[in-house]
């Protein structure tokens, strides 16, 4: 019920609220003290650092809310077309530093807290690191939100407010142990619960037919259970703009209505129990990256957030004055982040046809004009397929809709290609077999206006290998550009400005303004200084500063002292066989063996190196977990060997996460992006490393290829076979022609000897199993050995590492390459990526909120 405008003195209220919170240091101090006392019930004389963080968070929240509310009003007033990003994951990372930077409050905040005797950076460390995502896909979504706000685009994110994010990784005796991450703790000051914004979401039940009030034949989905989706808003401030957008996350709550029959049947406790279970739905993020788990709860999560989001955006649409359904595509664009939200195709149809009473044909026309789909992987094990039986039970109406859509689709194809063309079974949404399944990729492509890959090579693979029949179909109907490329990016605000303030200061000083932060092409202006000796000394000082922070971090997390003059070599990403952390650690063993062979005098001449490897393994991924154990064990041997430890150190860094990345990335000299060609769709940390002046050791895969194009061949240490060579090498290997380099043989021998097993029989067996699998020593006939061609690429990997050492020996040359690469990264700002999405896919235009709005 709305307040009665006659009784309540609205005008008076408006006047009172008609001023923004002031942003001078003294006002910030006052806000801080007020929140400490009145919001947190602390006294000014007795509070902890955590209280201080929370009060500072509330100071920011006030300002974020003002901006969020006004931006929403502005978008509404302007009646703009809106974009909606649907993603099951957002790896947002800590809010505070980013919010201060984007709200342009860095100076006054710094002064305010110095004035209170506090160090801002210490407050940042009090914040939990919200990890509502697995890896690259979730982090990309978070960078996208930052760019959408910065570009003043009227775009929102929708997702799930998991109570437990990505698990915390502990390393015990060299092995991964997963610990729950209850990130919400005592509440997050940056999120705004909206108990007034809820939608019912039905699951299970059955479909009946009946008549509506007007006597028209209609379909009813009834029974089952109803879960309530409640909104939690997360303001996303843009940089250098007054716009603040929203990330709306849904939490599952028991439905508001009581089932009175249940109560009268004296099943009170049962009924409360079943309501409590509703909350399990948004309890936990599935910790899989680039594979999927066919668990029923996961499908429930997907439908839950998709349904709530579509209900919310359609409600917003029909609140527009004189809306017409035919205008929906002029006002709404939806992006499906991978197939995780793809049930949206059927849900949009259900909402339009069953609830809004739009005719089927028009509803399909609207759906296919509004929805778009991004593919993030071509790994077959990651392509989602749900058993028909599961969908039929959980979403009976959706199965009917998908069946009808498929029928019409197949008829269309038969007309084009003949009744029995083999393309028909490839293009059908249903996969036949013992267990009949729905292919979500096919459903997504069919329901989408545009389909995109995330790097040039990846988009080509989608067209030629993953969905060739679809691509042919698109060409046949004259729409080859239904599949487009949108190369990924990262936000320079978090990944340069916040993560590496020293580098940000250098750029701003040499370029004369901080414009580069919203227009990275400005960095080209650094190129003329790339041989400038003054810049060189400032650049090297910046690296030293970053390395000092890294050293403190590694000391704390790994209890290891690292030499800050050493070359820092980092590989941080999810542990996966295709990413080949195994090849990296095998090379470290080889380097160790070479060092051991040398005389002390010769060792003195070799390049010192510190190799850091970090990343989480999916909890059920056996081989990935063995690789972690191997890395840990190799570290234990090498780091304490007095012959070599001065020249080579290696550590597994536990609990890799966004905040760890912000410390590690700026300190790297080189980073490893060494996936088998054709397997890594894009990669995004590669971009962050180079923006921070690190160089890449990498394969011709994903975005590496485009980074090389932008920065120049000389800035990258490329090795390994090319994508078009992979099939041939694998075929030869299968037929027994697969030679193993003698240096790698020596590494295998050391592992088999138990040199890294610490006398643990279990580890010994596991390590041997890894090596045996590479060498394909296993059950006859099944070649499932070195799937990712570690053996075949190993010699050229050694060569690339030798080139790294040789180049690093020339400090001035290295520094020049580092400056050259970092200054050539404009293409990889998500500002560029998002502009392309907005122009080519969404048709959404900036709506810049003027400040004098109030």
Reported as half-sphere exposure (CB side, CA atoms, 13 A), residue 803 has a value of: 17
Asked if 376 is part of the footprint of ligand B1N (rule: CB under 6 A), the reply reads: yes
Active-site annotation holder among 397, 522, 579, 609 = 579
Q: In angstroms, rounded to a whole number, what is the distance separating the alpha carbons of residues 394 and 402?
A: 14
C-alpha dist (Å) from residue 771 to 697, 740, 753: 23, 12, 12
376 is catalytic: yes
Nearer to ligand B1N, 136 or 341 (CB): 136
Question: Which window, 29-37, 135-143, 228-236, 419-427, contacts ligand B1N (CB under 6 A)?
Answer: 135-143
Residue 831 Cβ, how far from ligand B1N at the closest point, in Å? 17
One-character DSSP codes across 170-181 = EEETTEEEEE--
579 a catalytic residue? yes
489 counts as binding ligand B1N under rule CB under 6 A: no
CB distance 423 to 381 below 8 Å? no
Q: How far is the CB of 136 from ligand B1N (least distance, A)?
A: 3
Tokens 């097993």 appear where? 757
464 is known as an active-site residue: no
Please give the size of the binding site for ligand B1N, defined by CB under 6 A: 21
Start-to-end Cα distance in the chain: 26
- Which is nearest to 236 in space by CA: 155, 169, 177? 155
**Interaction of residue 485 with ligand B1N, rule CB under 6 A:** no
User: Does 292 help bind ligand B1N (rule: CB under 6 A)?
Assistant: yes
Q: Is 506 helix (H, G, I), strand (E, B) or coil?
A: helix
Taking the complex as a whole, how short is the minimal distance between the CB of residue 141 and ligand B1N, in angstroms?
9
Q: Does 151 interact with ligand B1N (rule: CB under 6 A)?
A: no
Q: CA nearest 451: which of 338, 597, 591?
A: 338
Q: Minimal CB distance to ligand B1N: which residue? A: 136
Residue 289 engages ligand B1N in binding (rule: CB under 6 A): yes
Smaller CB separation from ligand B1N, 376 or 397: 376
Considering the complex, state which of residue 488 and residue 824 has its C-beta at the smaller distance from ligand B1N: 488
| For ligand B1N, the closer CB: 144 or 232 | 144
Shortest reach from residue 680's CB to ligand B1N, in Å: 5
Nearest Cα residue to 307 out of 252, 369, 362, 374: 252
- How far, in Å, CA of 628 to CA of 282, rounded? 30
- The verdict on whether 487 is a catalytic residue reads no
DSSP string, 368-433: HHHEEEE-----GGGS-EEEHHHHHHH-HHHHHHHHHHHHHHHHHHHHHH-TT-HHHHHH-SEEPS
Select from 127, 233, 672, 680 the one that contacts ligand B1N (CB under 6 A).
680
From 353-361, 657-665, 682-690, 716-724, span contacting ligand B1N (CB under 6 A): 682-690
How far is CA 371 from each of CA 201, 594, 689, rounded to the nearest angstrom? 21, 56, 33
Q: Is 377 a catalytic residue?
A: no
Of 375-383, 473-481, 614-622, 640-648, which segment contacts ligand B1N by CB under 6 A? Answer: 375-383
Residue-wise burial string across 441-479, b where 16 or more C-beta atoms lie within 10 A, e elsewhere: bbbbbbbbbbbbbbbbbbbebbbeebbebbbbbbeeeee
Q: Which member of 688, 816, 827, 849 is catalytic?
A: 688
Q: For residue 428, what are its two tokens?
A: 């059908």
Q: Is the Cβ of residue 485 or residue 757 nearer to ligand B1N in the bound state?
A: 485
Asked if 378 touches ligand B1N (CB under 6 A), the answer is no
Q: 684 to 743, contacts with ligand B1N by CB under 6 A?
A: 684, 702
CB-neighbour burial class of residue 41 (10 A; exposed 0-12, middle 13-18, buried 19+): exposed
Residue 571 sits in the site that holds ligand B1N (CB under 6 A): no
User: Which of the stretches 282-290, 318-326, 411-419, 719-727 binds ligand B1N when contact is defined by CB under 6 A?
Assistant: 282-290
How far apart are the C-alpha atoms of 276 and 752, rounded to whole Å? Answer: 52
Q: Toward ligand B1N, which CB reaches closer, 97 or 339?
A: 339
Task: Name which of 684 and 801 has its Cβ closer to ligand B1N.
Answer: 684
Query: Where does this chain touch ligand B1N (CB under 6 A) — which range of 190-198, 210-218, 289-297, 317-325?
Result: 289-297
Tokens of 477: 């109907």
Q: Is 681 in the site for ligand B1N (CB under 6 A)?
A: yes
Residue 134 contacts ligand B1N per CB under 6 A:
yes
Nearer to ligand B1N, 31 or 682 (CB): 682
Contacts (CB under 6 A) with ligand B1N, residues 402-461: 454
Q: Closest CB to ligand B1N among 66 and 384?
A: 384
Active-site position among 81, 482, 573, 708: 573
- Is 672 an interacting residue with respect to ligand B1N (CB under 6 A)? no
Q: In the complex, what is the shortest distance from the CB of residue 129 to ligand B1N, in angstroms, rounded to a whole number?
A: 18
Site string for ligand B1N, 214-243 (x = CB under 6 A): ------------------------------
Strand 430-431 to 217-222 pairing:
unpaired
With CB under 6 A as the contact rule, the residue among 682, 704, 764, 801 that binds ligand B1N is 682
> Least Å distance between CB 325 and ligand B1N?
33
Burial class (CB within 10 angstroms; exposed 0-12, middle 13-18, buried 19+) of 368: middle
Considering the candidates 275, 331, 376, 708, report the single residue annotated as catalytic: 376
Does 174 bind ligand B1N (CB under 6 A)? Our answer is no
List the one residue from 52, 96, 137, 486 that touches ligand B1N (CB under 6 A).
137
Take residue 188 and report the two structure tokens written for it. 């997050």
Please give the residues from 334 up to 363 whose contact with ligand B1N meets the rule CB under 6 A: 338
Nearer to ligand B1N (CB atom), residue 591 or residue 673: 673
Q: Taking a C-beta distance cutoff of 8 angstroms, is the pair 275, 163 a contact? A: no
Nearest alpha carbon to residue 158 among 39, 251, 44: 251
User: Is 644 within 8 Å of 651 (Cβ atoms)?
Assistant: no
Per CB under 6 A, the segment of 132-140, 613-621, 636-644, 648-656 that binds ligand B1N is 132-140
Rounded alpha-carbon distances, angstroms, from residue 326 to 16, 317, 318, 330, 766:
42, 12, 12, 8, 61
Whole-Å CA distances, 12 to 8, 63, 826: 9, 21, 49
Mark whether 458 is an active-site residue: no
Q: How far apart are CA 256 and CA 611, in angstroms?
A: 54
Please identify, using beta-carbon distances, which residue of 376 and 493 lies nearer to ligand B1N. Answer: 376
Q: What share of the chain is helix, strand, coil (3-state, %, to 5)?
A: 55, 15, 30
- Report residue 364 as tokens: 């399909």
CB 238 within 8 A of CB 152: yes
CA distance 553 to 660: 9
Cβ nearer to ligand B1N, comparing 243 with 684: 684
Residues in touch with ligand B1N (CB under 6 A): 134-137, 140, 288-290, 292, 338, 376-377, 382, 454, 488, 680-684, 702
Catalytic residue numbers, as ranges: 376, 573-574, 579, 684, 688
């Amino acid at each position: 019920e709305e307040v009665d405008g006659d009784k309540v003195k609205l005008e008076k209220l408006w006047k009172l609220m008609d001023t923004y919170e002031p942003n001078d240091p003294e006002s910030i101090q006052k806000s801080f003290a007020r929140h400490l006392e009145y919001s947190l019930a602390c006294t000014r004389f007795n509070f902890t650092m955590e209280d201080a963080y929370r009060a500072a968070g509330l100071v920011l929240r006030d300002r974020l809310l003002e901006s969020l509310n006004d931006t929403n009003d502005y978008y509404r007033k302007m009646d703009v077309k809106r974009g909606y990003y649907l993603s099951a994951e957002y790896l947002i990372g800590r809010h505070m530093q980013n919010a201060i930077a984007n709200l342009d409050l860095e100076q006054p905040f710094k002064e305010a807290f110095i004035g209170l005797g506090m160090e801002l950076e210490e407050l940042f460390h009090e914040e939990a690191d919200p990890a509502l995502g697995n890896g690259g896909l979730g982090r990309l979504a978070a960078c996208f939100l930052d760019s959408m706000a910065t570009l003043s685009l009227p775009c929102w994110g929708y997702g799930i407010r998991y109570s437990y994010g990505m698990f915390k990784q502990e390393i015990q005796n060299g092995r991964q142990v997963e610990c729950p991450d209850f990130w919400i703790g005592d509440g997050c000051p940056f999120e705004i619960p909206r108990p007034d914004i809820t939608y019912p979401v039905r699951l299970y039940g059955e479909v009946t037919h009946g008549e509506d009030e007007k006597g028209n034949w209609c379909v009813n989905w009834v029974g089952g259970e109803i879960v309530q989706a409640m909104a939690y808003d997360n303001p996303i401030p843009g940089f250098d703009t007054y716009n603040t957008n929203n990330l709306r996350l849904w939490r599952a709550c028991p439905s508001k209505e009581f089932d009175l029959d249940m109560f009268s049947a004296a099943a009170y406790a049962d009924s409360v129990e079943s309501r409590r279970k509703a909350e399990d739905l948004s309890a936990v993020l599935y910790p899989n990256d680039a594979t999927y788990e066919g668990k029923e709860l996961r499908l429930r999560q997907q439908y839950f957030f998709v349904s709530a989001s579509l209900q919310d955006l359609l409600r917003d649409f029909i609140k527009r004055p004189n809306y017409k359904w035919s205008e929906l595509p002029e006002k709404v664009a939806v992006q499906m982040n991978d197939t995780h939200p793809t049930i949206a195709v059927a849900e949009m149809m259900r909402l339009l046809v069953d609830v809004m009473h739009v005719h089927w044909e028009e509803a399909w026309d609207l759906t296919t004009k509004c929805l778009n789909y991004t593919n993030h992987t071509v790994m077959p094990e990651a392509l989602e397929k749900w058993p028909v039986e599961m969908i039929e039970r959980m979403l009976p109406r959706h199965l009917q809709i998908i069946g009808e859509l498929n029928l019409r689709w197949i008829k269309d194809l038969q007309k084009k290609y003949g009744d029995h063309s083999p393309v028909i079974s490839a293009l059908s949404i249903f996969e036949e077999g013992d267990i009949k399944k729905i292919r979500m990729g096919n459903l997504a492509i069919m329901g989408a206006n545009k389909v995109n890959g995330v790097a040039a090579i990846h988009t080509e693979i989608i067209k030629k290998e993953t969905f060739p029949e679809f691509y042919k179909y698109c060409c046949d109907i004259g729409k080859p550009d239904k599949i487009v490329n949108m190369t990924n990016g990262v936000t320079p605000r978090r990944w340069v400005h916040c993560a590496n303030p020293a580098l940000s200061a250098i750029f701003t000083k040499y370029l004369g303004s901080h414009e580069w932060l919203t227009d990275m092409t400005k960095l080209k202006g650094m190129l003329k200084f790339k041989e400038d000796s003054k810049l060189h000394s400032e650049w090297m000082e910046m690296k030293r500063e970053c390395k000092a922070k890294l050293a403190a971090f590694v000391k704390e997390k790994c209890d290891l002292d690292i030499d800050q003059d050493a070359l820092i070599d980092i590989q941080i990403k999810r542990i996966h066989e295709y990413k080949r952390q195994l090849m990296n650690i095998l090379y470290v063993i080889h380097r160790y063996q070479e060092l051991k062979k040398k005389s002390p005098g010769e060792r003195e001449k070799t390049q010192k190196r510190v190799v850091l490897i970090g990343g989480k393994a999916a909890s059920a991924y056996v081989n990935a977990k063995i690789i972690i154990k191997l890395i840990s064990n190799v570290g234990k041997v090498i780091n304490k060997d007095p012959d070599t430890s001065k020249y080579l150190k290696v550590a597994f860094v536990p609990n890799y996460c966004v905040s760890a990345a912000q410390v590690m990335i700026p300190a790297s000299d080189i980073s490893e992006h060494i996936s088998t060609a054709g397997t890594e769709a894009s990669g995004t940390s590669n971009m962050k490393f180079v923006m921070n002046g690190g160089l890449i050791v990498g394969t011709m895969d994903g975005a590496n290829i485009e980074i090389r194009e932008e920065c120049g061949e000389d800035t990258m240490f490329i090795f390994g076979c090319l994508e078009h060579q992979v099939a041939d090498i694998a075929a030869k290997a299968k037929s027994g022609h697969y030679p193993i380099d003698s240096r790698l043989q020596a590494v295998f021998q050391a592992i088999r000897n138990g040199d890294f097993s610490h006398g643990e029989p279990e580890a010994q067996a596991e390590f041997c199993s890894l090596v045996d699998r590479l060498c394909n020593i296993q059950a006859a006939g099944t070649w499932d050995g070195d799937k990712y061609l570690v053996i075949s690429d190993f010699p050229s990997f050694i060569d690339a590492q030798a080139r790294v050492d040789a180049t690093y020996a020339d400090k001035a040359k290295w520094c020049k390459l580092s400056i050259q690469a970092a200054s050539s990264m404009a293409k990889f700002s998500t500002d560029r990526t998002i502009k392309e999405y907005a122009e080519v896919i969404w048709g959404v235009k900036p709506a810049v909120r003027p400040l004098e709005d109030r």
